[in-house]
Amino acid sequence: MLLQWHKRKSFLHRIVTGNDKWIYFENPKHTKSWADPGKPSTSTARPNRFGKKTMLCVWWDQKGVVYDELLKPGETVNTDRYRQQIINLNHALIIKRPECDRRHHKVILLHDDAPSHTSNPGKDTLKDLA
């Protein structure tokens, strides 16, 4: 059904999604190694999960990155931060994807069900921008 809908009237350009990723300051070098059959491979070091880290939040659509934000070390996405990111994303969409505004198409926001995304203040911000 979605493929037929896409053939009649494309909607994929309207989808905007986002995600966040921890970036570790202490990132040991990983060495690639090939092992002969039957011989053990060498192990590689893993990042220190408890060391200093910062969060990178990225929002993108089918054309590429629309908005990104690098948080301060140790800072996470809470409801207030998410609301501000949605407002900043809206401004970035107006600047980088003016065709969305001209066609009066609503953006299809694809995100997970993190508590900051499903909170009432977060939902209210989305309704205000709709």
Q: Check which CATH number belongs to the domain holding 27 and give it.
A: 3.30.420.10
Residue 12 has pLDDT above 80, yes or no: no
d(CA 24, CA 107): 32
The pLDDT score that the predictor gives to residue 60 is: 93
Question: How does pLDDT run across 80-97, given as a tens digit for each residue?
Answer: 999 999 999 989 988 888
Alpha helices in the chain (DSSP H): 2-8, 79-96, 98-102, 115-118, 120-129
- Residue 101: which domain range? 16-129
The pLDDT score that the predictor gives to residue 73 is: 87
The pLDDT score that the predictor gives to residue 62 is: 87
Q: Is residue 2 part of a domain?
A: no
The pLDDT score that the predictor gives to residue 108 is: 84
Q: Is residue 88 part of a domain?
A: yes
Q: Is residue 23 part of a domain?
A: yes
Q: Is residue 56 part of a domain?
A: yes
The pLDDT score that the predictor gives to residue 71 is: 93
Q: Is residue 5 part of a domain?
A: no
The pLDDT score that the predictor gives to residue 83 is: 92
Q: Is residue 91 part of a domain?
A: yes
Confidence of residue 106 (pLDDT cuts 50, 70, 90): confident
The pLDDT score that the predictor gives to residue 116 is: 83
The pLDDT score that the predictor gives to residue 30 is: 61
Residue 43 has pLDDT above 70, yes or no: no
Q: Is residue 8 part of a domain?
A: no
- Look at residues 87, 86, 93, 88 and name the one whose alpha carbon lies nearest to residue 114: 86
The pLDDT score that the predictor gives to residue 33 is: 67
What pTM was estimated for this model as a whole?
0.71
Helix (H, G, I), strand (E, B) or coil at 22: strand
Total count of domains within the chain: 1
d(CA 107, CA 124): 16
d(CA 83, CA 104): 22
